[in-house]
Amino acid sequence: MTYFEALVQAQMEEMERDERVVLMGEELSVHGGAKLIERFGKNRIWNMPISEGSFTGLGIGAAINGLRPIVDLSVSNFVYLASDQIINQASKLRYMTGGQIDIPIVFRCCMYSLGSLAAQHADRPYPFFMNVPGLKIISPTSAADIKGLMKSAIRDGDPVMVFEDTRLWPLKGNVPTDPDHVIPIGKADVKREGEDVTLIAVAGVIQPTMEAVSALAEEGISVEVIDPRTLKPLDHEAIKTSVAKTGRLVIVENAHRVCNVGSEIAAVMAEEAFDLLKRPILRVSAPDIHVPFSPALEKDFFPTKDHIIAAVRRLL
């Protein structure tokens, strides 16, 4: 099953399980909604106009009144238009009412990194939302993980943001068929065990990361790959456990370099695991430049296999 198919199946199973789950968004048939529309009809699948702030607010109101909405914001850049509702309403109302209001809602959006979509359609906004208390954020890399975590997100009592990298959509993997199989939010996963270097791979960089690690293995360099799966709350204990073994840490992601996930992981490891490190922490990411339209510039804009290999070698 592909990553994309697993994502749709998670929504299908949760809508079968709980009649309070509804889906709303724009261009739903393009982003996996066609099968859901066919199965559940327009009473539970709500196609919205191109007004992200408005229908995000509608979703939050529906959550307050007992539904469990999945709000599909389509391209990740569009989440900026819904950010006032997500930050000032969804993330804060439980706190501001002393726990009297629950907001069980999922915000889903997809991130593009190739295809010349350019700066207004190719951002990775998850660092922006990591600074907001009250939100949970997931961005897993495998079909099994997106299914298990999407189901957990739908069942969660708090707002959960789902950032999918479209480069992962066609990737295939074994997926549990048990409709009650869920993966807890906040738990990282070791994708490959190693002894020499710990490498944290966030979202879409998993492919060049695994290619780089396989090439390094042929040279006798053993790299442990960790997929955080959840970006907030991060599983710092899993990272510390690995760093205790390797003494070296590289963090790879497609977000811009300033204040990204790697910045947060590096800060916490410097504070809590400095004595475990043999070498400085390295980050590999997109530069602090907007994503270019030009295919020639875009090709090497995000971390590549060669970028990752070079970073690992710097630590040895």
Tell me the average pLDDT of the chain: 95
Are residues 141 and 22 part of one domain? yes
- pLDDT of 183: 97
- pLDDT of 53: 94
pLDDT surpassing 70 at residue 91: yes
Q: Which amino acid is at 255?
A: A
Domain presence at residue 297? yes
Token pair for 170: 């066609």
In total, how many domains does the chain have?
Answer: 2
- For residue 38, give every residue at least 6 positions away whose Cβ sits within 8 Å of its Cβ, in sequence order, or none: none
**Dihedral over Cα of 12, 13, 14, 18: its sign:** positive
pLDDT surpassing 90 at residue 57: yes
Q: Tell which of 168, 203, 229 closes a domain.
A: 168
Are residues 67 and 8 part of one domain? yes
The residue-averaged pLDDT of 13-25 equals 96
**CATH at residue 151:** 3.40.50.970
In percent, the amount of the chain with pLDDT more than 70 equals: 99
Helices (H) and strands (E) in the chain, counts: 12, 12
| pLDDT tens-place string over residues 245-254 | 999 999 999 9
Are residues 240 and 201 part of one domain? yes
Place of tokens 């539970």: 44
Catalytic choice (121, 256, 290, 307): 121
Q: Give the distance between the most distant pair of CA atoms in the chain.
A: 58
**CATH at residue 303:** 3.40.50.920
- The C-alpha atoms of residue 209 and residue 223 are separated, in whole angstroms, by 10
Place of tokens 């261009």: 27
Domain that holds residue 310: 189-314
- Spatial contact of 229 and 138, defined as CB atoms under 8 Å apart: yes
By the 10 Å C-beta count (0-12 exposed, 13-18 middle, 19+ buried), 300 is classed as exposed
The residue-averaged pLDDT of 273-295 equals 96
CA distances from 12 to 38, 179, 254 (A): 11, 10, 30
Are residues 282 and 240 part of one domain? yes
Domain presence at residue 176? no
Q: Tell which of 135, 168, 201 closes a domain.
A: 168
- Note if 121 is an active site residue: yes
The residue-averaged pLDDT of 118-146 equals 95
Token pair for 62: 């529906």
pLDDT surpassing 90 at residue 136: yes
- The C-alpha atoms of residue 226 and residue 265 are separated, in whole angstroms, by 12
pLDDT surpassing 70 at residue 32: no
Are residues 219 and 120 part of one domain? no
Beta strand ranges found along 40-146 (DSSP E): 45-47, 68-75, 106-111, 136-138
